[in-house]
Amino acid sequence: MTDQAVDTSGPAKAAGTEGPSSTVPPQFFGRDRELKELRADIERAGLDTLAGRKAARARVLLIAGRPGSGRTALAGELTRRLLSTGDHPDGLFRARLTDPGGAPVPTERTARELLDQLGVTGPPGADGDELSEMVREALTERRALLLLDDAVDAEQVDPLLPDNPDCLVVATSEGPLTGIPGVRPCTIGGLDAGSAVRLLARIIGQVRITVDPRTAETLAEECAGLPAALVMVGGWLAAHPMASVADVTKQLRELPDDTEQSTGARPLARAFRLVHDSLPSTAARILRLLALAPAGLADAHTASALAGCSVSAAQTTLDDFVALGLLRTNGADQPQYEVPGCLAPLLRALLADRDRPTEIQLARARMLERTVRLLQSCRAVTDPKGSPARGKLAGLPRSLRFPNPDAAAEWLRIHRPALLASARLAVEDGELDTLARRLVAALVRALAVHQGTEAAAPELYGLHGLVLAVAERRGLPRERAAALLNLADLDARTGRTQEALTRYRAALDAGRAAKDPYATGRAMESVGGAYAELGDFQRASDWYGRALAQRLTQGERADEARLYGRLGAVHTYAGRYGEALRNWRAAAAGYRRLGDVPAQARALSEAARVQEYAGRPQESLHTCQEAVEWARRAGDVRLQAALELRLADTLDRLGDSAAARLHRGLADRLLGEEGAACEIRSAVSEN
């Protein structure tokens, strides 16, 4: 195969950095024939396309090859060149379809990742079908590229294909994607000898190639031309400047083949074993433990916790791994390191072979504990100075502290995929449930404080689902009730009222099993709210009444007043005005005893509305005047203005238009004064 290429970004650092020859900027070269074929395939008429008519869906270009062959690098170079033409001005969106553990990524997760890149928020709790439809809809009017990396089968790709021929999908996989019409795979293998030797020269310099060019070609053959193997062997040579190309070729030949590997995968496995076995024992152990890194992503803290070493030592070791082609890095100020997908199964097998299960579990526990502490620090830095949380934060090691809330928010944004993966893996593990619960709780709090509960709702939904899984596995009814309530609230907020009702009822059962009065009361009230949303006011009033009875026995006055108001509202909707009026009066009395004057005014205004509905305008007028007075005492100008307008409407219906005009004028003046006050406060705050 000729004109083949590789992206050498694996072991390379960012352009402009100093270091050995193995840290030169990334470069892509060769593969010209494959790139030409792929470009030509874009214009080729599909089998399902009528002459002179565009296809109904986006064209799919498939690059097929075994792990380590450079298929992802080729896809990246193709999309880069396509973007440079201007034919796809809406940019590139990409997602990986296989977890580092080898499991297919669920469509729901892939679709959410793409929606985030598209700037679209998927509703919490939505399934894969709904979210993939949102992806297709978001791409309907765009001329964009979609890169779907490491697809397992067509079922992963097909739901995401845009119904828009102006979009183009580039997919990579190990084999064909049977089931998607019109896809002709571009199958790649190892690099030809010339390209492979140029790659080695790029990493180790031309001198060692020039003195023995034939051996360099032999080394390329030993690596089967696989770019990933060549990069690791080149990294090893760069780290051993006294070794010759012949030395490393001999060592590779002497390594026994792993008979559990397929024939085509053995060269990559041999190259990996060569590099691993040449590492100092501590570094080799850190490398193996990176198989535990969530989503294949690690940073210095992750490696430090896994190995039980200092953060600075872990950082140096990770940078050494990048130079050896064992990791990729984003080169950011807070660098993250990624285990290449082709090496992940080799790392897992070596970890299982070389390390004891107890040591592996201890390393996993250390990693989770470190993550919990970082998340607690991330949240605590947002608390006021002098608060207990900030006091605890001051006692943490400097490496676990954030200088300010902005730095903490940025850390959370960068590490969010790894943190969410860490939570999923901790729950799936099943042996560290206490740590898993602490991790999920800390992540929920950090997301809520930095993103807000509305913006973080999709992530929170998944996290509450993890809490529910642990609670059900461990038989923890209190935690089960809390998780069900949180999930049901999110369901209700997104319009899935029937699903919310089912979960609220389950939460009620769990709360009763835990003998938790708060959970049971909250669940009963929420069941009532769900029935009210569904328009079943009889059942709503029944459940609100049950919740109120429980609150009355416990003397929870604020909850009592609120529930009286809820009952007043559903009785109003049902046209039972007598019951509604009694409950709104009870709510107003409750708020008066609590000293909550604005709430008392609002309750009285609702009572006035009920009296008006009941055909008692004079009583409504009197109650509304009472509400206005309480709003004035509370200093709530907006509420007072709103009540003045309601009072004016009532006077109009009573035929007193002059008095109505006076109250409308008063409302206008109140709102004008409020607006002026807001402008003054805004100007003061800006200065």
| 345-392 tens-digit pLDDT | 999 999 999 999 999 999 999 999 999 999 999 999 999 988 888 888
Q: Which pLDDT score is estimated for 49?
A: 52
Q: Which pLDDT score is estimated for 53?
A: 55
Confidence of residue 240 (pLDDT cuts 50, 70, 90): very high
Distance CA 149, CA 160 (A): 13
Tell me the H-state helices in 225-280. Answer: 227-239, 245-254, 266-278
Confidence of residue 10 (pLDDT cuts 50, 70, 90): very low
Distance CA 594, CA 596 (A): 5
Residue 514 · residue 482 · CB < 8 Å: no
Distance CA 599, CA 593 (A): 11
In this prediction, residues 283-292 reach a mean pLDDT of 96
Residue 188 · residue 64 · CB < 8 Å: yes
More confident residue, 275 or 25: 275
Residue 141 · residue 120 · CB < 8 Å: no
SS3 content of the chain, % helix, strand, coil (to 5): 65, 5, 30
Q: Does pLDDT of 276 surpass 90?
A: yes
Q: Which pLDDT score is estimated for 628?
A: 87
Specify the range with the lowest mean pLDDT, choosing from 206-215, 358-367, 492-501, 641-650. Answer: 641-650
Strand partners of residue 501: none
Q: Which pLDDT score is estimated for 539?
A: 96
| 102-148 tens-digit pLDDT | 899 999 999 999 999 999 999 999 999 999 999 999 999 899 999 99
Q: Tell me if residue 579 falls in helix, strand or coil.
A: helix
For β-strands 328-329 and 337-338, DSSP reports them as antiparallel
Q: Tell me if residue 94 falls in helix, strand or coil.
A: strand
Q: Does pLDDT of 100 surpass 60?
A: yes
CB atoms within 10 A of CB 88: 19
Q: Which pLDDT score is estimated for 555?
A: 84
The percent of residues in the chain predicted with pLDDT above 90, rounded, is 69
Quote the mean pLDDT of the chain.
88
| 619-635 tens-digit pLDDT | 988 898 898 888 888 88
Q: Which pLDDT score is estimated for 637?
A: 84
More confident residue, 265 or 529: 529
Angle between helices 281-289 and 300-307 (to 10 degrees): 110
User: Does the global pTM surpass 0.75?
Assistant: yes
Read off the tokens for 180: 């998607």
DSSP conformation class of 614:
T
In this prediction, residues 247-264 reach a mean pLDDT of 87
Confidence of residue 675 (pLDDT cuts 50, 70, 90): low
Q: How far is CA 662 from CA 74, 180, 601, 628, 631, in A?
A: 76, 72, 21, 14, 18
Q: Which amino acid, residue 572?
A: T
Distant-in-sequence, close-in-space partners of 598: CB < 8 Å, separation ≥ 6: 631, 634, 636, 639
Confidence of residue 30 (pLDDT cuts 50, 70, 90): low
Q: Does pLDDT of 564 surpass 90?
A: yes
In this prediction, residues 499-505 reach a mean pLDDT of 97
Q: Does pLDDT of 396 surpass 60?
A: yes
More confident residue, 27 or 481: 481
Q: Which helix (H) or strand (E) holds 29?
A: strand 28-29
Distant-in-sequence contacts of 201-208, Cβ < 8 A, 24+ apart: 202/8, 202/24, 202/27, 202/234, 203/8, 203/11, 203/21, 203/22, 203/231, 203/234, 203/235, 203/237, 203/238, 204/21, 204/22, 204/234, 204/237, 204/238, 205/21, 208/237, 208/244, 208/245
Specify the range with the lowest mean pLDDT, choosing from 9-23, 369-383, 456-470, 571-585. Answer: 9-23
Q: Which pLDDT score is estimated for 334?
A: 75
Confidence of residue 446 (pLDDT cuts 50, 70, 90): very high
Q: Which pLDDT score is estimated for 12?
A: 34
* Of 90-99, 650-659, 663-672, 678-687, highest mean pLDDT: 90-99
Residue 544 · residue 528 · CB < 8 Å: yes
Nearest of 6, 148, 115, 106 to residue 465 by alpha carbon: 106
Specify the range with the lowest mean pLDDT, choosing from 40-49, 488-497, 519-528. Answer: 40-49
| 417-445 tens-digit pLDDT | 999 999 999 999 888 999 999 999 999 99
